Amino acid sequence: MDIASSIQWVTEEIVLRLAKTLRKSLDVDRLCLAGGVALNCVANGRILQAGIFKNIWVQPAAGDAGGALGAALAVWHQYCDRPCESKGQDKMQGAYLGPSFTEEEILDYLKLVRAPFHRLDDAQLMPQVAEILAKGYVVGWFQGRMEFGPRALGGRSILGAPRSEKMQSVMNLKIKYRESFRPFAPSVLAERVNDYFELDSSSPYMLIVAPVRENLRIPMTSEQQQLLGKLLLICLRTSGNFCGNAKSIGYYL
């Protein structure tokens, strides 16, 4: 019995019903999500694929840590009486809200700990990084300000070539020290996302899961098929008002 898969399926169904209720009750065509369940990338992808809204936006630190941002905004708008303006743009600009370090600070630290290093400009660095990745090695990427939230978005990231069949296991078991089934996110240019995935919008915060285009999928072997197990169906019996109160959607998500 695949309990985890069953719970995920039920969660997706509940989230979809809540989204449909919100769309009908408030007659809005865009959805903003926050809360721990909003970090469920698969459920977010289901909402987007269902076409309920024109677009969805998920707070990149949608878990408990993101409450700090909500508290700051509440003070700014309610106590400081500042206007709440929206021009349809992502004002978080990548959620790079953490600390950054100058090149001089980095050099001073490397010398302090006596770490061996080579200093390269971008013209030299980029081809060398690409060559290292192509050989199957892993790269630790450190630049600019640190990301706010649970996702590594290029500020503090671990990079590996997706063409390697062993890369996912190597990263999980030897670098991150976590279960081997844990996934990693692909990095694709926004203008080419539709070349690889069934997705017509960008996902800058690693919070949307979309199917790989069918012509690019590798068929599963019979042995892999057997690992799927059987789906344990869970029936949820709720009152008719469970999805009826649109104002409560923040609590459910």
Q: CA angle at residue 163 from 157 to 168, to 5 degrees?
A: 55
pTM above 0.85, yes or no: no
Cα–chain-centroid distance for residue 107?
Answer: 32
pLDDT tier, 112 (very low <50, low <70, confident <90, very high otherwise): very high
* H or E segment to which residue 139 belongs: strand 139-142
pLDDT digits (tens, 9 = 90+) for 61-87: 998 888 888 899 899 999 998 887 777
pLDDT tier, 237 (very low <50, low <70, confident <90, very high otherwise): very low
pLDDT of residue 229: 52
> Could you say which DSSP state residue 27 is in?
-
Q: How many Å apart are CA 159 and CA 156, to the nearest integer?
A: 10
Q: β-strand 55-58 against 139-142: which pairing, if any?
A: unpaired
- Domains of the chain (ranges, CATH numbers): 1-95+204-253 (no CATH), 101-143+154-188 (3.90.870.20)
pLDDT of residue 251: 26
232 near 2, Cβ under 8 Å?
A: yes
**Worst-scoring range by mean pLDDT, 17-21, 172-176, 247-251?**
247-251
Q: Where are the alpha helices (DSSP H) in 67-151?
A: 67-74, 103-112, 122-134
- Residue in 229, 247, 197, 212 with CA at minimum distance from that of residue 18: 247
**Amino acid sitting at position 73:** L
pLDDT tier, 215 (very low <50, low <70, confident <90, very high otherwise): very high
Question: Which residues 6+ apart lie within 8 Å of 140 measured at CB?
Answer: 157, 158, 159
